[in-house]
Amino acid sequence: MKVKFAPSLMCMDLMNVQNQIGILDQYADYYHIDIMDGHFVKNLSLSLDFVKRLKLITNIPLDCHLMASNPEMYVDQLIEIGADFISLHAETISGQAFRLIERIKQADIKFGVVLNPETDLHAISSYLHLVDILTIMSVDPGFAGQKFIVESIDKVRLASSLKADKQYSYEIAVDGGCNKKTYKILRQAGAECFIVGSSGLFGLHENLNLAYELMLREYEQETACI
């Protein structure tokens, strides 16, 4: 399976969005959009209005990663805006997971679930078969540039094993610290989509075309022997 890359747009130059999207559209498989409420995580990032405006200038699928204590308040708006994926934190949907999944899928939108570093994969075993994209956090959510949490590798490995054993169809994405230091071990563990931010993409070169080429080169160099 060809690995995918999803630029994390909270790390882009937000003063130069249209130009940067024009460049990224040539390469990206998805766009990863962090939407934070300042409560579930102590930060604010991209907004619903950003998603709405982005839909006007790109056809790349948008994976909206909702970091909010009350995700049910945002799901209908994301459906209306036209999100391609709505990814909800497992820690926030206990007691309403099946209702939210049904609402998302009835709108013909793909359902994603996100696991914090300390959240066990078995916490979502009852609805894992309904997941389209499984995002495993390898840093604590909310802030860019954190140290990679090595314990997340075992979770990726288990997710890959379960997918094969149960014939599940979810895609395994990793969010946090995806760069030349971690590509090989994550790919070996079963990662299928790398969400790339400051260290993996945007910080590699001020010229975004060159940065993307460097990222792909680093990935190919690190994983050539797999």
Catalytically active residues, by annotation: 34, 175
Cβ contact 60:25 at 8 Å: yes
Closest CA to 211 of 221, 201, 220: 201
Cβ contact 205:165 at 8 Å: no
Q: What are 138's two structure tokens?
A: 């390898």
Closest CA to 7 of 35, 25, 30: 30
Tell me the chain's radius of gyration from C-alpha atoms.
Answer: 16
Cβ contact 42:12 at 8 Å: no
CA 159 to chain centre: 15
Alpha carbon distance 10, 104 (integer Å): 24
Q: What are 11's two structure tokens?
A: 């790390």
Q: What are 223's two structure tokens?
A: 């994983």
Q: What are 57's two structure tokens?
A: 């200038």
Contacts 24+ apart (CB under 8 A), 124-127: 124/90, 124/97, 126/97, 127/97, 127/98, 127/101
